[in-house]
Chains A and B, each alone.
Chain A
């Protein structure tokens, strides 16, 4: 099957184009770095099937950060038949810089001149034919979000697959460098290397350490002493060469742009500028960010819980009764009835009940992401982050973590600096993910029904504060050294499209439902069995295996005020997935007092204070298995995964104990 790869700057509309080509439902955000891993989809055109690969957005194809390496490796080693280079028409020079790199790599390139409508609005004019001639590659104007120009783009790409043309950007890097390139090529030619020799030569001069290692390992090449001398010589001058090359490449791009693009003389103040005056204001920026988040949580609560939550709860109750009656009518054995009503409906149902809330939360977050506001949030947070030895971009991975820690941790790949990245990974679990929401909601409904939004807001805030404090500690102890420089694009504000907002929501909600049907179901089944065994004990009682496990763990939590075996089992199962905490509580409590609602049981067993300490515990303690796995994968070490498990547990426990002990001293109960 033929493969078409999509490459482009962050925020150039690459993922939107991917969706338009494949009809797939990838999530798009109006901020840099949404795609951190390559994504694949299928395009059907004229009864043929093409494999479409969406690569992470990059400004360059050097070896700066993980996402650049992913993109570059794919183009070089994945051998896509054609590369569609998505170019943001409103920012042509910087985007063409990447184009020239693609051409230098010898890739077959089709340029999608995207967001051409926005460029027109800004009075940027193109001579598309000339641009195409200068680049030596077809240029197709597109508006991916409105699906304009897509068919033409597909046709051109397919045509190119068949053609056998050499793509090349013939950039002169000045006499000195050109001479060096030729010299290197002399050594590299006919050595059967993986990459074009011209490209390797340039990369060596750019000081690319991956290519350097590759060449150094190759016995054909490194055997000659002469070559070693040349390389040695280059190494001493890399800095000069490197910048000279980038500069010349830009000159090449500028020349093309000058001849083919007409920019307006003076950009007038745009709506984005006006909005930014307020949202990034010196004093107002942070309070506005806090206010926006508060509104998000309040709305989530009001709309999701008050409006739809009760309905959902009622629905599940009725469904449960109907199923129970059905089971009785068909004379099912009592253990089946118990398993279905107490185990599945008590457990999985307790989780599903919160779908409306999650729908609302993710729609609001999707709206913010799409609008372009999140980059501003990172901007206004940079001062605080910097004071803590972190940087603004780290905050983006933290916000992504609000949705789910797994993509949150993956998004740290855009951080160039190893130190920044490690810290960002280790503190991400404190960002309260959507799966923890049901836990808070049950406890809020039981004890703080009138201040739901506020309690949520403070929990999320506490997560941020703890994450930042730990970041500070890590940057002073484990990962010393300079924090990386801060540079980030602030994309123009866009009115989010309903399609995108719904898509973002569905991505998350479907994940939630999937977990409810798989992980949570499995956990509930295991726990239910453990609650029934050994045969003859009182189900859900202390003497069941489940109760015994809980009793064994429970003493640890006594200083935090919730040293019951049920709470202990709940927290334990939460390591599988966070929703399992509430599923477990739903099962063990609703199981005890037949038919009683979880909330009213919680009211009997917990107090407002222990509810608070329990929520703090669930907010901070050990992340779910999927997150632990991602930490292992991204840090490439079991050590850091285990470290995270241990230290988050310690922090969670400490937090819960502090809340309970200080609260008790202050006379709360």
Chain B
């Protein structure tokens, strides 16, 4: 599977964080919220508005722009 962005995952799909391509500040925040390299993310909801993901059982809502910058690998 080629690398895709978190926003391209549909509800119910999951993957591992490979890289974050945001500015330093946002990237750090994401890391601190648990989106570190290798973290397993499952998309709970991805239709309109911010996307909701489950990160080791905890739900986090994040804006679509931000979700786009999270690169998911396998």
Contact = CB atoms under 8 A, between A and B. Distances in A.
A123 to B, nearest CB: 10
A557 interface: no
Given A207-B24, A276-B52, A486 B60 contact: no
Given A379-B61, A391-B63, A59 B32 contact: yes
Contacts of B55: 94
Chain B interface residue bracket vs A: 20 to 34
A246 B22 CA distance: 15
B24 A238 contact: yes
Interface in A477-521: 485-492
Contacts of B56: 91-94, 263
Given A91-B57, A263-B56, A382-B50, A487 B30 contact: yes
Interface of B: 22, 24-34, 36-38, 44-45, 47-50, 52, 54-63, 65-66
Among B27, B47, B56, chain A packs the most CB atoms within 10 A around the CB of B56
Among A242, A383, A487, chain B packs the most CB atoms within 10 A around the CB of A487
A489 to B, nearest CB: 6
Contact of B57 (A267, A375, A382): A267
Interface string A364-401: 00000000000100011011001000011000000000
Contact of B66 (A64, A97, A239, A485): A485
Contacts of B61: 375, 379, 382, 392, 486-490
A247 interface: yes
Nearest to A92: B56
B29 A243 contact: no
B63 A247 contact: no
Interface residues of A, number: 45
A62 interface: yes
A476 to B, nearest CB: 19
Contacts of B59: 272, 276, 489-492
Contacts of A488: 60-62
A64 B38 contact: no
Given A379-B49, A379-B50, A487-B30, A90 B58 contact: yes
Contacts of B25: 64, 416
A543 interface: no
Contacts of A145: none
Among A238, A263, A391, A485, chain B packs the most CB atoms within 10 A around the CB of A485
Contact of B48 (A60, A273, A282): A282
Given A243-B28, A276-B52, A383-B48, 10 more contacts: A59-B29, A64-B28, A93-B34, A97-B32, A246-B32, A250-B37, A254-B36, A276-B44, A392-B50, A488-B60
Interface string A332-373: 000000000000000000000000000000000000000000
A391 B61 CA distance: 12
Contact of B62 (A91, A93, A247, A487): A487
A146 interface: no
Given A91-B57, A207-B24, A280-B45, A485 B37 contact: no
Given A207-B24, A239-B24, A392-B50, A94 B57 contact: no
A122 interface: yes
A380 B44 contact: no
Nearest to A261: B56
Interface of chain B, helix or strand or loop or mixed?
A: mixed
Interface in A113-158: 122
Contacts, number: 118
Interface of A: 59-60, 62, 64, 90-94, 97, 122, 207, 238-239, 242-243, 246-247, 250, 254, 263, 267, 272-273, 276, 280, 282, 285, 375, 379-380, 382-383, 386, 391-392, 416, 485-492
Contacts of A242: 24, 28
A525 B24 CA distance: 57
Contacts of B58: 90-91, 94, 489
B29 A485 contact: yes
A21 to B, nearest CB: 25
A487 B31 contact: no
Contacts of A62: 28, 32
A486 B57 contact: no
Given A122-B57, A487-B60, A94 B52 contact: no
A491 B59 CA distance: 7
Q: Across the A-B interface, give the 6 residue pairs with the lowest CB-CB distance, nearest first.
A: A486-B63, A250-B36, A490-B59, A94-B34, A485-B66, A246-B31
8 contacts: A64-B28, A93-B56, A239-B24, A243-B27, A243-B31, A285-B49, A379-B50, A383-B49
Contacts of B62: 485-488
A391 B64 CA distance: 12
Contact of B38 (A238, A254, A379, A487): A254
Contact of B60 (A64, A272, A391, A490): A490
A489 B44 CA distance: 13
B28 A267 contact: no
Nearest to B27: A243
Contacts of A276: 44-45, 52, 59
A247 B31 contact: yes
B52 A280 contact: yes
Nearest to B36: A250
Contacts of A383: 48-49
Contacts of A267: 54, 57
B48 to A, nearest CB: 5
B22 to A, nearest CB: 8
Contact of B24 (A97, A243, A250, A491): A243
B33 A487 contact: yes
B49 A382 contact: yes
Contact of A490 (B24, B52, B66): B52
Contacts of A379: 49-50, 52, 61
Contacts of A273: 44
Contact of A487 (B24, B44, B66): B66
Contacts of A416: 25, 29
A486 B66 contact: yes
Among B32, B49, B56, chain A packs the most CB atoms within 10 A around the CB of B32
Contacts of B54: 267
B50 A486 contact: yes
Given A94-B33, A380-B49, A486-B66, A246 B57 contact: no
Among B49, B52, B56, chain A packs the most CB atoms within 10 A around the CB of B49
